[in-house]
């Protein structure tokens, strides 16, 4: 029986899933199985997955969303630990070695999560690490704000996953946030403050995924949190809604520092579409019209894309 089951849900991931799988196969820790679940793709994802037959267990099911796909993969797996990798993300070679070591050293730890580097939709890395936190959260802290825990940076105990009920299948967004809340009830968390995975921002410069469904999922998530914990999760929904704006702001500032005013202008213009009332977006866009030296100097003074 493998120590780790790596679960990869795939929906129209033909252009990225091979890179995700290859990053698992390149791990320094090798006692794992890979289970990829094609979730009703209508592109050539199945053909790409077929290239890994024999090294990857490939499942197929109708499109039911990432939660259902991940749960299907878990049911077909046998590892003591569960690792989740989205089909458009990838891992650094030490991801499993470092997380498994952490879980092995603390039997009370139910979940380990790492920092993640940021890449745009083309796979070009933009940021060394997404904003993390200095410590792993309590349930109370997770209810106060949206915590930076993303599926591709998580390895957890199967026993905790099962106690927490798995990913809620009626959510197409916030399903990870709700599972982490439930999981924290059954064990502590450890945070590894190093970017061991790369998270792809799939909305820019060209979208890889269709949008939609966020508002409905947010309402369901708010109801679920209120019913279980008796508090409002509206601030989580607002934070998730603002996240693309902040990421686009960072990409734009990064592009300005590199002298790519065209990319910076596109990023700031997209940020304005996400939040047309935020003055800072317009000021940043205007900065792309300044001479290169002035624009780079001004962008270098910005410490974060808030």
pLDDT tens, position by position, 36-88: 999 999 999 999 999 999 999 999 999 999 999 999 999 999 999 999 999 99
Q: 157: helix, coil or strand? A: strand
Give the model's pLDDT for residue 304.
43
Tokens 């403050």 correspond to 193
Topology at the third CATH level for domain 4-229: Spore Coat Polysaccharide Biosynthesis Protein SpsA; Chain A (3.90.550)
- Are the CB atoms for 198 and 89 separated by under 8 Å? yes
Give the model's pLDDT for residue 117.
94
- Residues near 234 by Cβ (< 8 Å), separated by ≥ 6? 222
Q: What is the 3-state secondary structure (H, E, C) of 43-92?
A: CCHHHHHHCCECCEEEEEECCCCHHHHHHHHHHCCCCCEEEECCCCCEEC
- Domain assignments of the chain as residue spans, ordered by start: 4-229, 234-297
In angstroms, rounded to a whole number, what is the distance separating the alpha carbons of residues 266 and 169? 35
Q: Which residues pair with 113 in a beta bridge?
A: 154, 191
Give the model's pLDDT for residue 112.
97
In angstroms, rounded to a whole number, what is the distance separating the alpha carbons of residues 120 and 101? 30
Give the model's pLDDT for residue 131.
58
Give the model's pLDDT for residue 303.
43
Give the model's pLDDT for residue 281.
83
Strands of the chain (E only): list them.
4-10, 32-39, 57-61, 81-84, 90-91, 109-119, 125-127, 154-157, 188-200
Q: Which residues of the chain have pLDDT under 50?
A: 301-306
Give, as one character, the DSSP assignment of residue 136. Answer: P
Give the model's pLDDT for residue 294.
67
Give the model's pLDDT for residue 296.
60
Give the model's pLDDT for residue 306.
45
Give the model's pLDDT for residue 132.
60
Q: What is the 3-state secondary structure (H, E, C) of 229-297?
A: HCCCCHHHHHHHHHHHHHHHHHHHHHHHHCCCHHHHHHHHHHHHHHCCCCHHHHHHHHHCCCCHHHHHH
């Amino acid at each position: 029986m493998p120590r780790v089951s790596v679960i990869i849900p795939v929906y129209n991931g033909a252009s990225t899933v091979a890179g995700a799988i290859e990053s698992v196969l390149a791990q320094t820790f090798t006692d794992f199985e890979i289970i990829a679940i094609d979730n009703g793709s209508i592109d050539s994802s199945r053909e790409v997955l077929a290239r890994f037959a024999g090294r990857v267990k490939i499942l197929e099911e109708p499109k039911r969303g990432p939660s259902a796909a991940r749960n299907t993969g878990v049911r077909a797996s046998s590892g003591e630990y569960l690792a989740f990798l989205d089909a458009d993300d990838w891992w650094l070679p030490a991801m499993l070695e470092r997380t498994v070591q952490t879980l092995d050293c603390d039997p009370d730890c139910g979940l380990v999560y790492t920092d993640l580097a940021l890449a745009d939709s083309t796979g070009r890395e933009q940021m060394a690490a997404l904003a993390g936190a200095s410590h792993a959260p309590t349930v109370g802290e997770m209810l106060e704000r949206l915590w930076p825990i993303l599926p591709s940076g998580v390895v957890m105990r199967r026993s905790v996953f099962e106690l927490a009920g798995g990913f809620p299948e009626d959510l197409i967004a916030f399903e990870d946030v709700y599972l982490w809340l439930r999981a924290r009830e059954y064990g502590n968390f450890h945070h590894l403050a190093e970017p061991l995975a790369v998270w792809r921002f799939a909305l820019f410069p060209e979208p890889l995924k269709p949008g939609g469904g966020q508002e409905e999922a947010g309402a369901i998530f708010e109801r679920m949190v209120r019913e279980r914990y008796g508090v409002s999760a509206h601030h989580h929904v607002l934070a998730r809604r603002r996240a693309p704006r902040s990421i686009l702001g960072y990409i734009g500032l990064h592009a300005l520092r590199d002298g790519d005013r065209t990319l910076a202008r596109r990023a700031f213009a997209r940020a304005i579409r996400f939040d047309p009332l935020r003055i800072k977006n317009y000021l940043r866009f205007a900065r792309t019209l300044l001479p290169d030296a002035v624009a780079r100097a001004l962008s270098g003074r910005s410490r974060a894309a808030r």
